Amino acid sequence: MTVSELEYTDIVNYLHIDAEDVTEAEQAMIEGCLEAAKNFTASYTGLTEGELDDHPDLAVAVQCVAADMYTNRDLVTGGTKSSVNVNRTVETILNMYAVNLVPGGED
């Protein structure tokens, strides 16, 4: 299987969810996660959509990322007031596009 062949049902199966139990809203969320996971993988690797298909193992990575996005939808996970755990997937995606980062240690 290739990245471009991945569909909603592949992610539902990966998540071990009974497709009959999925609401329309959840289906839309899973489809959005799949699309975001494909974009994330392309941005992270620097490969085009066509080049992603040259590496069948990336389909597994996309499924894993999409499942993580669906399962861990919150920006902040666990922790206490003094130690907040930011969702690593969200942080990685935002960091790839951040243009307002200030380099440290320069005066």
Higher pLDDT, 93 or 28: 28
pLDDT band at 79 (very low <50, low <70, confident <90, very high): low
- How distant, in Å, are the alpha carbons of 8, 9, 33, 67, 87 from that of 13? 9, 6, 14, 10, 23
- What is the pLDDT, as a whole number, of residue 90? 76
- What is the pLDDT, as a whole number, of residue 101? 64
Lowest mean pLDDT among 45-54, 74-83, 85-94: 74-83
pLDDT band at 25 (very low <50, low <70, confident <90, very high): very high
The model carries a pTM of 0.77
Question: What is the Cα–Cα distance from 53 to 46, expressed in whole angstroms?
Answer: 13
pLDDT at 106 over 60: no
Question: What is the Cα–Cα distance from 88 to 85, expressed in whole angstroms?
Answer: 8
Higher pLDDT, 107 or 53: 53
**pLDDT tens profile 82-105:** 666 777 777 787 787 777 766 655
Is the CB of residue 11 less than 8 Å from the CB of residue 34? Answer: yes
Count of CB atoms within 10 A of residue 52's CB? 20
